[in-house]
Chain A
Amino acid sequence: MAVHNHEYLFLAIFLGAALAFCVTPLALARLWAAWVSPAKPGVEKQASYECGVAARGDAWVQFRSEYYLYGIVFLVFDVEAIFLLPFAVAFMGLSVGAVLAMAIFLLLLVEGWVWAWRKGILTWQ
C-alpha cells in the first residue's frame, strides 16, 4: 500500500500517537496504584489543599450582579493597558496617523468609562 497516496494518513497516525501518549501513563499509574499503593482515603488526604490555609465554605456562592459591571469596567482598563504597552515601546517610531488612531482608540475607551461613571456604576450599592 502506497502511504504517500493518503495525504491525511499522518493525521491519523498523529491521533493514535497522541492518544497513546495520554492513555499509557494513566494506565500505568492505575496499575501501579492497584498493585503497590492501595487507596486509603482519610480526612487529610481528601482535603483540597494538603498544605496552606484550609478551605472554608462553598465555592458556589452568589456574586452580586453589580460585580459584573466592575468586571466589565475592569476589562476596559485591561484592554487599554494591553494596547498601551506596545504603543509606548514603539512610540518614537510611529507616524502621526498611528498616534492619532491610538488617541481615538483611547478616547473611545475613555468614553465608555465616563459613561459608566456618570451612570453611577462605580458606586457600590
Chain B
Amino acid sequence: MDDLILIGPELAVLITGLAVLLLDLWAPPSQRKTIGYAAAAVLGVVFLGTFAFLLPEPRMAFGGMLVLDELALFFKRFFLLAAGLVLILAVEFSDRLKAGESEYFALILFALAGMMFAASANDFSILFVALELVTIAFYVLASFQRHRTRSLEAGVKYLILGALASGFLVYGIALVFGLSGTMNFTRLAQAPEAVLSSPLFELGLLLVFVGLGFKIAAVPFHIWAADVYEGAPAPTTAFLAVGSKAAGMVLLLRVLHGAVPALVDRAQPVLMVVAALTILYGVLCAIPQQNLKRLLGYSSIASAGYLLVGVAALNAAGLSAVLYYLAGYLFTVLAAFLVIALAFPNVDSEEIGALAGLHERAPLLAAALALALVSLAGVPPLAGFFGKFLLLKAALAAAGGTPGLYWLLGVAIVGVVISLAYYFGVIRTMYWEPHPPTSPSSPSSPSPPCLAVPTPMRVALWLCIAGMLWLGVMPGSILNLTDLAVQSLAPAVPVP
C-alpha cells in the first residue's frame, strides 16, 4: 500500500488518461474541449498534491525499483506543470486536428505518466519501460495531423530513429546487466571494481548514453530533431522540447550519479566533447532557418548542449544549474509555442516572415514571444540568462581541475553570442517589419485582422511570462529546491 501511495501522482495521471478516453465515447463532440480543460485542471490538482509528500530521506518502492526523493519530486512537478500548459495549448489546437481530439489529450497524459515514472526510476528496467511509454506516445502525437504530409513525415522519422535509439539502449542495458548481474541502480553503485573497470561495462554505459542522448537531442544523436520539431503539431513539439528532453536529462543524472558514481570522472571527457559539439551544431544550424519551429528545434539542440555543460562540470552547482535551466526552459519554450499556435492559425507552415507586424495585430503575443526569445538568448533579467550564467559559473568553478572545461566554456560563450543574432532577427521581424498585404490584389487593405487570444491561452501565456520573470528576478527560491534535489541525488558530489 505504501508503494501505491508513492506512485500516487503517476496513478492519478494514468487514471485521468483512461477516463478521458472513456468520457469521449459518450460525451457529445461539443464537450471535447471541456474534457481537455478538465484534464488540465486535474493535473493542476495533482501538481498541488505532490507538495503533500514530505521526504526527510529518499523512499524506495517496489523492492527498490522506484525511488521518491527530492529530485524525483522536482521533476514530477516540472512534468505536471509542463503537461498542464501543453494540454491548454492542445485544447486550443484541437480544431486543427480534424479527428481524435480526446485521444490526443489522453496520449499527452500517458506520455506524462511515462515521464513521471522516469523521474523516479531506480532500475534499468523501469528506465526502459518509462522511456518507451514516453517515446511510443510521441510517435503517435507527432503524426497526429494525418492530413498533413509533414506531420506524417515527422512521425515516421521519429519512429525509425527512436526505434534505433531504443535498440542501442537495450543493448547497453544488456551489457551492463550481463557484467554486473543487476539492473538496480543502488546495487550497481556497490558493484565491485573489477566489474566497473571492464571495457564492456563502459561500452554498455556508452550505449545507454546513446539512447538517452537521443531523447535530449544531443549531437550526434540529434538527426531527428529539426524535422520532427517542424512537422509535428505545435503542442506535440512543445511537449517534446520540454518534457521529453527533461525526462532524458533526469535519467542521465540518475544513471551517472545514482548507478555509476565511481565512473563519473571517466565519463567527463565524453560529456564535454558532446556538449561542445551540440552547442556549436545547434547555434550554427539555427542561423539560416526561416521556419520558427525549425529554429526552435535547433535552439533546443543547443540547449541540450548547455545542459550537458552543467552535467560535465561534475559538481553540485552544475547539477543544480541544470535543474534551474530546465525550469526556466519550461516557461520560455512553452510561451514560444503558445504564441506559435495562435500566431499561425491557418497557415500550413510557420515561416518567420509571416510574423511581420505581429505587435500591431496582437501585442500580447508579440511581447510574449519577444520575452521568450530574449530569455532563450540569455539576456538578463530573464530566466534564460540566469540558467546559462549558473551553468557557466559551475563549469568555471570546476575548470581548475580539468583544463578542458575552459575550452568548453569558450565554446559555450561563442554559442551564446551567435545565438543572439537569430533570436533578435525574429524579434526584428515582429516589431520592425510592416505587415505584408493580405492579398496581392488588394495592397491597400487598411489593417490586418487582429488575432484573438482565448482566455485560457491568455492565462497560460501570463503564467509563462510570470514564470520567466520570477525565475529571473528571484532565482533564490527555486535554487533552494534544486539544491535540495541535487543533494538527494548525489550527496557525495563536491560543493564548491
Give residues in A with beta carbon < 8 Å to B.
108, 111, 114-115, 118-119
Contact = CB atoms under 8 A, between A and B. Distances in A.
A11 to B, nearest CB: 14
Nearest first, the 5 closest Cβ-Cβ pairs linking A and B are A118-B25, A115-B21, A111-B18, A111-B22, A115-B25
A111 B25 CA distance: 11
A73 to B, nearest CB: 15
A5 to B, nearest CB: 17
A119 B21 CA distance: 11
Nearest to B100: A119
Nearest to B25: A118
Contacts of A118: 25-26
Contacts, number: 12
A118 B24 CA distance: 10
Question: Interface SS of chain A: helix, strand, loop or mixed?
Answer: helix
Given A108-B18, A111-B21, A115-B21, 9 more contacts: A111-B18, A111-B22, A114-B22, A114-B25, A115-B22, A115-B25, A118-B25, A118-B26, A119-B25
A119 B24 CA distance: 10
Nearest to A115: B21
A119 B25 CA distance: 7
Interface string B414-457: 00000000000000000000000000000000000000000000
A115 B107 CA distance: 14
Contacts of A114: 22, 25
Nearest to A112: B21
Nearest to B106: A115
Contacts of A119: 25
Interface of B: 18, 21-22, 25-26
Contacts of A111: 18, 21-22
12 contacts: A108-B18, A111-B18, A111-B21, A111-B22, A114-B22, A114-B25, A115-B21, A115-B22, A115-B25, A118-B25, A118-B26, A119-B25
Contacts of B26: 118
Nearest to B14: A108
A114 B24 CA distance: 12
A118 B21 CA distance: 11
A62 to B, nearest CB: 19
Contacts of B21: 111, 115
B235 to A, nearest CB: 22
Contacts of A115: 21-22, 25
B136 to A, nearest CB: 14
Contacts of A108: 18
B32 to A, nearest CB: 14
A86 B494 CA distance: 52
A93 to B, nearest CB: 22
A115 B26 CA distance: 10
A108 B21 CA distance: 12
A108 B26 CA distance: 18
A79 B26 CA distance: 27
B147 to A, nearest CB: 15
Nearest to A119: B25
A108 B22 CA distance: 11
A81 to B, nearest CB: 22
Contacts of B18: 108, 111
A114 B18 CA distance: 12
A96 B327 CA distance: 43
B199 to A, nearest CB: 13
A60 to B, nearest CB: 22
A18 to B, nearest CB: 21
Contacts of B25: 114-115, 118-119
A118 B26 CA distance: 9
B486 to A, nearest CB: 36
A98 B25 CA distance: 30
A114 B22 CA distance: 8
Nearest to B18: A111
Contacts of B22: 111, 114-115
A108 B17 CA distance: 12
A108 B19 CA distance: 11
B278 to A, nearest CB: 36
A106 to B, nearest CB: 14
A116 to B, nearest CB: 10
A115 B19 CA distance: 11
A32 B235 CA distance: 66
A122 to B, nearest CB: 14
B324 to A, nearest CB: 38
A123 B25 CA distance: 16
A114 B26 CA distance: 11
Nearest to A107: B18
Nearest to A118: B25
A68 to B, nearest CB: 14
A100 to B, nearest CB: 11
A114 B25 CA distance: 9
A118 B23 CA distance: 11
A8 to B, nearest CB: 11
B179 to A, nearest CB: 14
Nearest to A117: B25
A13 B126 CA distance: 37
Nearest to B1: A97
B421 to A, nearest CB: 47
A65 to B, nearest CB: 12
A119 B103 CA distance: 11
A69 to B, nearest CB: 14
B106 to A, nearest CB: 10
A110 to B, nearest CB: 11
